[in-house]
Amino acid sequence: MLYTNHEVRIRFSDEVSLTRAWLDDDPVRAQRVLANYHGTHPVCTCVPRGVQMHIVRRGGAFYLATMPGRAHHHALSCPYHIPHPSTDASLHYADAALSRASGLVRLSVYPDPLKHPPFPHFSFSAALEYLWQLAGLNIFMPDMTPRPGLSVAAHTLQSISDRIRINDRHFIPHFPPAPRADRRFTHVIGVIRSLSLTRYGYRVALAGDGEKCTYWINEATWRRCQLFSVPTLFADPLPARYVIMARLWRSPKGFWNLFDPGLLEVNPQMLPVTEHTRSLVNELTQAKRKFFVVPQLDSSHHPATLPAAVLLDTDQPAPLYARVGLPAVSRVRAVASD
């Protein structure tokens, strides 16, 4: 799923469906098509069940437009997607932390402790989570094919990486297998296979097609990032899936060293989860026909007022909170009965 997917098809009638790219290619041709279908409701197929749109006429020209209150129903990757306040993570960050201008996404990322929103910068883990969101990996759609995975994130992030700046530097991501020494990468992103403490620091093995890809993190770096609070990381086998993103540096001796690591726990569908939201998110993925987004939440700085998930196949986004005490199943049914 690309962040902006211009190949998404618009269905004008049972026989006619055209891509956004095709319409953009030739404005005269597009005007002819839109005039022809004026008064009908074309369907954007960015999500499996489709999103109804309409054609408006302004100043003699025809435009394809989202229906009122439906812009957030489009996939994050769709050109017609407009975030709703309840699902828009950027609202929790100050302008200095996150800016989007001139086609660039700029993130400020530092380890200093955060207190409450608006956050002046991202933590390393929150930055990873924001990139996850850019890759569309926080939206769950039933019937999603291909199933989301690290390869989807890799493909999307690589295709938009030239538009991302982290602390004013280009973002050049690498995904395991092991990086090639002659290539310049700034960050590595991978799923942790194992983690162990040795006399040389932490040895991190990342999943990469069975290839051996070992990275090193020194103890001081690890402590600075306050990642010690995740004891389960040292279990064998790991009880959950963790994605790690870190700055990459190759030592003169040829070791791949990692700095500024951020962690993201994900469920088998690669959706971000935390200790508090895990059961609700897992339950939603198992419930049939649920279409929802997991808003960005860095588990260590997440205000309790943010929803754990937001249902999107409702007239207005329906926030779900991971409250304790009430069985999650009845909560989901109550909000999403359809």
Point out which residues bind Zn ion (CB under 5 A): 44, 46, 74, 78, 80
Q: Cβ 139 to Zn ion, closest distance in Å?
A: 12
Q: Cβ 78 to Zn ion, closest distance in Å?
A: 3
Q: Cβ closer to Zn ion: 11 or 203?
A: 11
205-213, Cβ contacts within 8 angstroms, sequence gap of 24 or more: 206/176, 206/244, 207/150, 207/176, 208/175, 208/176, 208/177, 208/178, 209/176, 209/177, 211/176, 211/177, 211/178, 212/178, 213/176, 213/177, 213/178, 213/256
Q: Cβ closer to Zn ion: 47 or 152?
A: 47
Q: Give 248's strand partners.
A: 258
Whether the CB-CB separation of 269 and 140 falls below 8 Å is answered with: yes
Cβ partners under 8 Å of residue 215, min gap 6:
188, 203, 204, 205, 206, 246, 248, 256, 257, 258
Take residue 174 and report the two structure tokens written for it: 């690498």
**Planar angle of CA 21, 26, 32, nearest 5 degrees:** 105
Q: Cβ 29 to Zn ion, closest distance in Å?
A: 21
Query: Rounded CA gap, 144 and 183, in Å?
Result: 34
Q: Cβ closer to Zn ion: 44 or 192?
A: 44
Q: Cβ 325 to Zn ion, closest distance in Å?
A: 38
Q: Cβ closer to Zn ion: 70 or 331?
A: 70
Q: Cβ closer to Zn ion: 72 or 74?
A: 74
Q: Cβ closer to Zn ion: 44 or 128?
A: 44
Q: Cβ 72 to Zn ion, closest distance in Å?
A: 11
Q: Cβ 77 to Zn ion, closest distance in Å?
A: 8
Q: Cβ 228 to Zn ion, closest distance in Å?
A: 43
Q: Cβ closer to Zn ion: 74 or 187?
A: 74
Q: Cβ 43 to Zn ion, closest distance in Å?
A: 9
Q: Cβ closer to Zn ion: 29 or 49?
A: 49
